Each structure stands twice: as structure tokens, then as C-alpha cells.
Amino acid sequence: MKIQSLIGKFKRSNTRKSQLTIVVQPSALFFSSIPGLSLPQQIAYEGASWQDALYKVLKGAGASDLSVDVVLHSNLYQSYQIEKPSIPDEELTSALPFLLKDLITEKVTDIVADYRPLPMGNKLQVYVIPRSLVVSLSGQLSQLNIALERVLIEDDVWAYSAGELSQFLLLQRSKKGQFRVSAFSEGQCAFQRTIRGVASPLTGVASSALQLDGLALELQRSIDYLSSQLRGTPLHQMKVCCDEEEQQEVAQALSERLSVGVTVLSERGDESGVLLVESAALLSEGAINLFPSLLKPKKDYFTLTNIAIGWGVTTIALLVFYALLSYQQLALQEDLRLVRSQEAEFRQQVDTLSQRLAKHKPSPAKVAAVSRLELEIESKRQSLDAVSEYDTAQQVGYSGVMRSLAKLGRDDISLSSITIDTHTLDLKGLAREPQVIPNWISQFKSELDLVGRTFDKLKIGRNDQDIITFELKTKEGTK
């Protein structure tokens, strides 16, 4: 067995893992359900980093041999709009950190970036995250035998949260987060803005009508801006998903103040983290991924254990192969022995038959006598064939030919000589004009005894009395 096939089996075994989605919010972690693993729907991480809280809860639940997608809150990544450079698309991802060097404070080697073309203008929306964040997260998960597959952004996930509605505005606030307004078109985030100066709560006892008025004013400014920038994208519907708020009340108040329709995103009033977990399953493969393959840990398949296993399997395979060849060799040797025994027996039979054949060879005198008899038989057979042919000719006779010639008699044709036998019919005679001869011959085909007889030669002349003479040489055709 080749070592490459062993490595392929190890790789396939590592890829067969259950998929877990984790959503990171400003105050809590949300988990998707997975068979065979008991994880809470959400867990708060106040007073600790979300990475440590994630590691603790996964370790406590005994999670292992999983594949994980992590959806980050907008506070954990930055977004920039840049002009699209004139470089090939396959080189653009690796060039992004250098294109952002004037916009960021980190070194270009300390960030991870991914991009998406914007529908308005020749621009790119670029998302950036510290390299140390994804590297440390991947390292912590690998300690639990959990593979980090993708690091996603919530802007991509919110685009699929409105069901069949593909073009809409979203007012969203997570618990302990800020109000944000976003615009989505065909599964992409085309616009995102954080609304400052508006604090929660908007509803309830501690609310103020001025808060809603200020929020509505900021939202209307964003709507007017999008109307001028995204002319081909109709954005007439706004969804509301604000944690710690009476969402129906917020939607009703904004609907009275804005130029677009406003409804709640979830009729059940689910929190943002729950909706993100549900919508993450709809995310396409082309979504923003801030954990590229070059950062994924490379599995070292050439460990001492794997090499020992490989050599062990190879040794066993060679031993089995050697035993099989030895068994086949013994079987072939036995077959060879039987064949040689049969060969000796056949040679003895050949010698015996050769001796018997020598005793049964005829003498030269008998051979000569047989030859003479064969010649005599052949001569008699030829005689019989000639007699048979003569008898057939006699049976046919010539009376039919004569009757047919008499039947075809004409005033302008006169026969003076008829020569007939089995194979030939020769005619001589006189004719009034030359052209009557072909006309008369053409009538032969209407007579059974004359049909099929062909003329080999036609001779026309004149005698001493200046009368036209003709001579026909015919043979009987094959019937």
C-alpha cells in the first residue's frame, strides 16, 4: 500500500466532522444545536473575554471532533471602502493589506482582510480583523480537537435574515451594542452605519419621544442618501431587530415618521443572536471569510506514530503478498509436474502409433492399381455425361424450331438453307429489302423455341439476279 493512500484516508477521516455555528454578540455567545452535544442556546461572558468563555463552555460540554463557523459582531472587525485597483482578482486578496496601509494603524502583516465589490461605483468593501485574534482562536479550538472552518461577519448573515425579502433596510441593536442601520441587496450588505447620539431604551418608562425623533431623523438621512446612490435598488421596506426594546412599538413609531414601511424582523421577538444562528445556515460559500486557508494549521501526517503504522501496514501487506506468491508457485509447480507426466505419456502413445502406422502402409503395386481404377472410373463418368447430354438433345428435337420458323413466315423473307443441331442454328435466304431482316429477327423472341438464340454473324449481299441474300450464324443462348 502506498503512503499517499494512507495520508488520503487520514484526511478523509478528519473531514467527516459535525458542523457547529457560534455567534459572538457584545454580551453573550449563541450556539446552534448539534446532535450528541449538550450546549446551551446562549451563554453570557461578562467579566471575561469571549474567547476564554467559548473555550470553557466547549471544554465543559466535552465538545470534540467538530467543525466550527464563528460569526463575529461588528465591534470585532473594521470595514473600509476603497477604490478597486487594476490588478487581477486572484492577486487582490493577498494585496489587500498593502492597499489599506494608509488607513490602518496596524502593520500589514498583523491583519487579515477580505473584500466584496460594492454595487455602487467601482469600489470594494473591505473587512479587516487582527491576525492574532483568529490565530489564537484557532489554537484554542485545536486543543479540543475542534477545527475552525470560517470566521464570518454578521453583516453577511443579516442579509439572509428577512426570508424571501432580498432588498431591505435593517435597524438593529444587540444587547449592550449600538444602533446600526444597514442596507441589503441580493444577499450583500451595500451600506452600514452606526447611529451615534441615540441610546437605549427607546421604549418603556425611561424612554423619550426625542430619542425616537432623533433616531428617525438619522434614519431618514440614510434613506435619502441611499436613494441617490442606489438608484437601481428599490429599498422601500425597513426591518427592526433591537434587543431590550419593545420592537412592535419601535416599528410603529418609526413607520409614522419615515418614508418607508417599517416592520419587525421577527414576529416572535427573538434576540439578535438567535436570529443570526438561524440565518447563518443560509450563508453562501462566497461569503466574507476572515480565516483564509493560509492561516489554517497544517496537519503533520508524517509523525512517528503514522510512519510506524505505515511501515507496519506495508510489512503486513508484503508478507501477505509473499505468502500468496509462494502458494501460487507451489500450485504452478504441481501443474507443471502433471503436464510433464502427460507429455511423457503422449510421447509413448505417439511412438506406438507410429510403429502401427508403418505396418499399415500400402505397397506400391496397390497404389498403382488404385490410380488405374480411378482413371477408368473417370473415363466412364465422362462417357455417361456425353450420353446423357445426347439423350436430352434428342428429347428436345428440332420440330419445335421448324414450326416456329414456319409460323414466322413472311412474303418478304424466303429461306433457302437451314442448318440446325444442338448448339447452332444457321439460316440462309433471300429478302426483298435489307431492313426486313432485323424486323424478322426481332419476332424470334415471341416464339418459345427461338427465344434466347443469338446471332453471332449476319452477312448480307446480292446474287447474280440482283436479289438480296443474307446468311445468319446463330448459337443457342443459355436459358
Does residue 160 contact residue 283 with C-beta atoms inside 8 Å? yes
- Please report how the helices 3-15 and 304-359 are oriented relative to each other, as an axis angle in degrees rounded to 10: 130
Contact 93, 292 (CB under 8 A): yes
Alpha helices by DSSP H, 242-363: 247-257, 272-280, 304-359
Cell reading at 15: 473531514
For 56, the grid coordinates are 470553557
Residue 12 has pLDDT above 50, yes or no: no
- What is the three-class DSSP state of 45? coil
* pLDDT tens sequence across 373-400: 888 888 888 888 776 665 555 555 677 7
Q: Where are the alpha helices (DSSP H) in 169-295?
A: 209-229, 247-257, 272-280
Residue 459's DSSP bridge partners are: 471
Q: Which of 200, 182, 199 is nearest to 245 (CA)?
A: 200
CATH 3.30.420.40 fits 163-264, yes or no: yes
Contact present, 427 and 471 (Cβ < 8 Å): yes
Indicate if the alpha-carbon torsion angle 243, 248, 254, 258 is positive or negative. Answer: positive
Every domain of the chain with CATH number 3.30.1360.100 lies at 399-476
End-to-end CA distance of the chain: 80
pLDDT of residue 10: 44
> What's residue 8's pLDDT?
47
d(CA 120, CA 320): 68
Model confidence at 3, pLDDT cuts 50, 70, 90, reads very low
What average pLDDT does this structure show over 116-133? 86
Q: In the 8-state DSSP scheme, what is residue 37?
A: B
- For 475, the grid coordinates are 448459337
- Name the range with the highest mean pLDDT among 80-84, 149-153, 421-425: 149-153
Q: What mean pLDDT is predicted for residues 223-231?
A: 85
Q: How far apart are CA 478 and CA 476, in angstroms?
A: 7
- Structure confidence by residue, pLDDT tens digits, 263-297: 999 888 889 999 999 999 888 888 889 998 888 87
Per the CB < 8 A criterion, the answer to whether 455 and 441 are in contact is: yes
Our measurement of the distance from residue 186's CA atom to the centroid of its chain's CA atoms, rounded to an integer in Å, reads: 29
Average pLDDT rounded to a whole number, residues 71-78:
92
> pTM of the entire structure?
0.60
For domain 9-161+270-299, give the fold: Nucleotidyltransferase; domain 5 (3.30.420)
pLDDT computed for residue 438 by the predictor = 86
CATH 3.30.1360.100 fits 399-476, yes or no: yes
CB 219, CB 210: distance < 8 Å: no
60 and 107 Cβ atoms separated by less than 8 Å: no
377, containing H or E segment: helix 364-396
Closest CA to 32 of 21, 43, 18: 21
Q: What is the pLDDT of residue 7?
A: 46
Q: Where in the chain is the domain with CATH 3.30.420.380?
A: 9-161+270-299
Question: 128 - beta bridge partners?
Answer: 78, 113
Q: Are 173 and 179 in contact (CB under 8 A)?
A: yes
CB 119, CB 230: distance < 8 Å: yes
Q: Which long-range contacts (CB under 8 A, 24 or more apart) does 465-469 make?
A: 467/430, 468/430, 468/431, 468/432, 468/433, 468/434, 469/428, 469/429, 469/430, 469/431
Residue intervals in the chain for CATH 3.30.420.40: 163-264
Lowest mean pLDDT among 202-211, 219-228, 405-414, 451-460: 202-211
Please give the Cα distance from 350 to 347 (Å, whole number).
5
- Which tens digit of pLDDT belongs to each residue from 308-320? 898 999 999 999 9
CA 50 to chain centroid, in Å, comes to 44
